[in-house]
Structure 1
Amino acid sequence: MSQPKSLGLVALIAVPALFLGPIMTMFLLLTPAAPAVADCGPAVSVVIDGNTQVEGYTQEQLKNAAAVMGAGKVLGLSVKGQMISVMVALGESGLRVLDYGDGAGPDSRGVFQQRDNGAWGSYADRMDPSISATNFIKALQGVAGWELLEPTLAASKVQRNADPYHYQKYWPEAVKIVQALSNSQFSVEGSGCAIPGQSGAGDDYPWKNSPTWVQVGAGAASTSPLGMYYRECVDFALWRVNQQMGSTSAPFKFLNATFRPDGQVLGSALTWKAGWDAKGWPTGNTPRVGAVVWYAPGTGGADPNFGHVAVVKAVNTDGTYVEEGYNGKPAPDDHNYYTRTVSSKVPSSFLYLPSQEEKK
């Protein structure tokens, strides 16, 4: 892991940045960034008849899924919300109207296993797929920022599971069912409904062939639309943040000059943890796919003055994770894409997107 020269140019980049910082800040502040909210597509209509088939599911289950989707359509729920609703129904009842509960909730009933506590209507309401779905969806829509949460976390805000990741394994099947029963094709990836950790495929950085500041000097020619220098660790990491939050083209939602709410630039790797804290975004010590990896100065071979940032590409079961980024190798390969396997104990912190919460 220790590569004394691998991150050396992080220090070099800071010198010209001292001169360009005020100029770039003034320029970028003139271009307002879009607010950091999801722009999910509209709900899809349900198309189902006696011939509709989805492998692994009965007609009863598909009719219940259609009822859940239909309730979402009536309430103007986004397609992502429809998938979350079907995911919860899968996780709670297997898309069946159950007339019994379990040890944790013996009075739970219906597709969503809603409790007899007055919050979910009468017994008949809880046993009706459309009405129970309507009540679940209204509760989901009442969760602030739910569309920016991972699906399982959004669901858990309503269902209040002991394990907030209980529904995670049902998400792929929910996507498959909603796609099969809908009247249109859609893609979650790259949209405003993008799910953190599922965007990006290798070196898809859009400015991989752009000139670095070393090649053309520190100026507009070497500055990306994000306000960082091309092919630096910070520019790649900020690209991944935008991409995972559904912003893949200009105007980007998150810029160097406007990321922080206190008027300061996000800046070099040195100040990224402070930027996350200023924005109120979560941080922690557990690697999660899509999180930004933050190395304090001198940590894990990072530059002794300015540190380094990268992105978690995959998490292994042996206490390591796969890291991806730019400017993490010695010259002459320093301003190119790299991956490497790192012990989870090495980085100073992991910086999560607002849709990621460290599992308690």
Structure 2
Amino acid sequence: MQRNTATVGAAVIVPTLVLGPVFSILLLLTPAKPAAADCGPAVSVSVDANTKVDGYSQEQLKNAAAILGAGNALNLPAKGQMISVMVALGESGMRVLDRGDAAGPDSRGLFQQRGNGAWGSYSDRMDPTISATNFIKALQKVAGWELLEPTIAGNKVQRNADPYHYQKYWPEAVKLVQALSTGKFSLEGGGCAIPGQSGAGDDYPWKNSPTWMQAGAGAAVASPLGMFYRECVDFALWRVNQQMGSTSAPFKFLNGTFRPDGQGLGSALTWKAGWDAKGWATGNIPLVGAVVWYAPGAGGADPTFGHVAVVKEVKDNGTYVEEGYNGNPPPDDHNYYTRTVSNTVPSAFLYLPIQEGKK
């Protein structure tokens, strides 16, 4: 059973009951770990003749270590360190270049920084630590860089023509940071999440809370996220928060604050519009952890409000497994469910900023 949800005041939800097929919304993600285990500052290590990383010379490893050291000095979390290494790989192959290119003949150094005064002197740009420090300071000034795709965050600093130029260097950046860092961090959950693993099943924290139909008059039926308990949208928004590293109040993403234009995220009907308003990517390829969006009537979804779910597993035969809440008819509505769906049935897949591969 789907309903239109709108925030009234701070957290009050006004439901509009709609009859039709029952579906749920859940964003299947890797369960978040305690803050101490999440991706944190990476610590650079000294690189000597015994340090080996397949595919990289000692010169490249020393330059990568200089970037990590600069990031650590500026309290840059590991995701930022990876972005910095990714950009250096994309700009110079992790080498201090004393030449530019057609687009920037005065570009120099690891980050191919221009001779326009913004990046210091020639010697600054040719110094791995100083040039990395200047890049990182510029990255830290990008509003919300932690939530952007790595290649987009890098492009906000470098302003090169192709915002996805750095995307192919991300796996190697992760590899280098992990290899050269003494800091222990997880790539699952939190700001450094790399989607690709399914969630832990029904770990929704309010699974025993009353639905709006079960609650008596005046009873609280809205979760801390501003959605009705045990609805598809509430479960999905929980997963969005979870994968983005927000697992307890105050949650980062709420029904009433998700969109930058001030409108509520609302029912399943408006989720793609909410993604568009936020500038987050959508596409037609299922990725583990992506929100599955059904337009009204698509795939048997409610003809008025549609449906949302989350990709739990992607199979090789053109199907994926989705999970969610409120996806079965009574008496099993408002409970956790999973089902296998053809990739072509949903109207769109809604990606998180940390997810790549949107085509």
Normalised to the residue count of structure 2, the TM-score between the two structures is 0.72
- Structure 1 residues 74 and 261: CA distance shift in structure 2, 3 A: closer
In the alignment, what sits opposite 2:48?
A: 50
Q: Distance in 2 between matches of 1:22 and 1:113?
A: 50
In the alignment, what sits opposite 2:338?
A: 338
In the alignment, what sits opposite 1:237?
A: 236
SS in 2 for 1:109: coil
CA offsets per residue over residues 164-209 of structure 1, 9 Å max, x none?
2232233233233223333321224333x24474575352533485
How far is 1:242 from its partner?
0.7
Please give the residue correspondences for 1:1-360 in structure 2 after superposition, counting only pairs within 5 Å. Answer: 9-10=1-2, 14=3, 25-26=11-12, 43-50=41-48, 53-56=51-54, 57-102=56-101, 104-105=103-104, 107-191=106-190, 193-195=191-193, 197=195, 201=199, 203=201, 205-207=203-205, 210=208, 213=211, 217-218=214-215, 224-256=223-255, 258-259=257-258, 266-273=265-272, 275-276=274-275, 280-282=278-280, 284=282, 286-287=284-285, 289=287, 290-312=289-311, 323-329=322-328, 335-343=335-343, 347-348=346-347, 350-353=349-352
Which one is further off, 173-182 or 115-124? 115-124
Q: Distance in 2 between matches of 1:65 and 1:157?
A: 21
How far is 1:88 from its partner?
1.4
- Structure 1 residues 264 and 142: CA distance shift in structure 2, 3 A: closer
Q: Distance in 2 between matches of 1:113 and 1:284?
A: 32
- Structure 1 residues 286 and 124: CA distance shift in structure 2, 3 A: farther
How far is 1:85 from its partner?
0.8
Q: Distance in 2 between matches of 1:225 and 1:107?
A: 53
Instruction: Judge conservation of contact 2:281–2:350 (CA < 8 Å) in 1.
Output: yes
How far is 1:272 from its partner?
3.4
Q: Percent identity?
A: 66
Q: Distance in 1 between matches of 2:340 and 2:104?
A: 45
| One-letter identity of the residue aligned with 2:181 | S
- Structure 1 residues 106 and 171: CA distance shift in structure 2, 3 A: same
Question: Where in structure 2 are there 5+ consecutive unaligned residues?
Answer: 14-34
In the alignment, what sits opposite 2:17?
A: none
**Higher RCO (C-alpha under 8 Å, 6+ residues apart):** 2
SS in 1 for 2:338: strand
CA offsets per residue over residues 297-331 of structure 1, 9 Å max, x none?
22231112321112355789999876443333556
- Structure 1 residues 105 and 324: CA distance shift in structure 2, 3 A: farther
SS in 2 for 1:213: coil
Q: Distance in 2 between matches of 1:261 and 1:115?
A: 33
- Structure 1 residues 58 and 208: CA distance shift in structure 2, 3 A: farther
SS in 1 for 2:86: helix
Q: Distance in 1 between matches of 2:267 and 2:273?
A: 11
Q: Distance in 1 between matches of 2:204 and 2:185?
A: 23
- Structure 1 residues 244 and 119: CA distance shift in structure 2, 3 A: same
| One-letter identity of the residue aligned with 2:171 | P
Instruction: Judge conservation of contact 2:285–2:343 (CA < 8 Å) in 1.
Output: no
How far is 1:144 from its partner?
1.9
Normalised to the residue count of structure 1, the TM-score between the two structures is 0.72
Q: Distance in 1 between matches of 2:77 and 2:281?
A: 29
Q: Distance in 2 between matches of 1:62 and 1:149?
A: 26
- Structure 1 residues 251 and 54: CA distance shift in structure 2, 3 A: farther
Q: Distance in 2 between matches of 1:210 and 1:55?
A: 49
Instruction: Judge conservation of contact 1:257–1:265 (CA < 8 Å) in 2.
Output: yes
Q: Distance in 2 between matches of 1:142 and 1:324?
A: 37
Question: Where in structure 1 are there 5+ consecutive unaligned residues?
Answer: 1-8, 28-38
| One-letter identity of the residue aligned with 1:134 | T
- Structure 1 residues 157 and 359: CA distance shift in structure 2, 3 A: farther
Q: Distance in 2 between matches of 1:225 and 1:211?
A: 12
Q: Distance in 1 between matches of 2:222 and 2:198?
A: 22
Instruction: Judge conservation of contact 2:188–2:194 (CA < 8 Å) in 1.
Output: no
How far is 1:251 from its partner?
2.9
Instruction: Judge conservation of contact 2:149–2:354 (CA < 8 Å) in 1.
Output: yes
How far is 1:121 from its partner?
3.6
Q: Distance in 1 between matches of 2:100 and 2:85?
A: 19
- Structure 1 residues 146 and 315: CA distance shift in structure 2, 3 A: farther
**Number of positions where the alignment pairs a residue of Structure 1 with one of Structure 2:** 331
Q: Distance in 1 between matches of 2:256 and 2:96?
A: 52
